[in-house]
Structure 1
Amino acid sequence: MKPFVVNLSTTVLIVAIALALYDRLIFQPSRQIGVVDVGEVYRAKEAQFAQRLTHGSNEQERQQAILLARQFAQRLPAALDELPRECRCLVVVKSSIIGSSTHLVDLTPLLKRKVDL
Structure 2
Amino acid sequence: MSSFATHALISVFVTAGALLAYDRLVVKPAQVIGIVDIAEVYRAKESEFAALLSASRTDDDRQRALAQAQAFGDRLDRALREIPVECRCLVVVKSAVAGGWSNAIDLTAALKAKVGAKS
Q: Which bracket does the TM-score occupy, shorter chain normalised?
A: 0.7 to 0.9
- Between the aligned partners of 1:12 and 1:18, the Cα distance in structure 2 is 10
1:79 match: secondary structure: helix
Runs of 4+ in 1 over 4 A off after TM superposition: 11-26
Q: Is 2:86 the partner of 1:58? A: no
Q: One-letter code of the match for 2:57?
A: N
Q: Which amino acid aligns with 1:58?
A: R
User: What is the aligned partner in structure 2 of residue 8 from structure 1?
Assistant: none
**How far is 1:24 from its partner?**
4.7
Over residues 32-82 of structure 1, what are the superposed CA-to-partner deviations in whole Å (9 max), with x where a residue is unaligned?
00111111111111111001111x242133222111001112221121111
Aligned residue in 1 for 2:8: none
Deviation at 1:15? 7.5
**Which runs of structure 2 are paired with 1:59-74 in the superposition (5 Å)?**
59=58, 60-74=60-74
CA distance in 1, matches of 2:47, 2:37: 16
Would the alpha carbon gap of residues 42 and 81 (structure 1) be closer, same or farther in structure 2, given more than 3 Å must change? Answer: same
* 1:103 positional shift: 0.4
CA 98–45 in structure 1, closer or farther in 2 if over 3 Å, else same: same
**Cα distance change, pair 97–49 in 1 and its aligned pair in 2 (3 A):** same
**TM-score normalized by the length of structure 2:** 0.74
Q: Which amino acid aligns with 1:79?
A: A
Aligned length: 116
| Cα separation, 2, equivalents of 1:112 and 1:77 | 12
Give the 3-state SS of the residue equivalent to 1:69 in structure 2: helix
Q: Separation in 2 of the partners of 1:12 and 1:71?
A: 55
Residues 33-44 of structure 1 aligned to structure 2 (within 5 Å): 33-44=33-44
For structure 1, which runs of at least 5 residues remain unmatched after alignment? 1-10
Work out whether 1:87 is the aligned partner of 2:87: yes
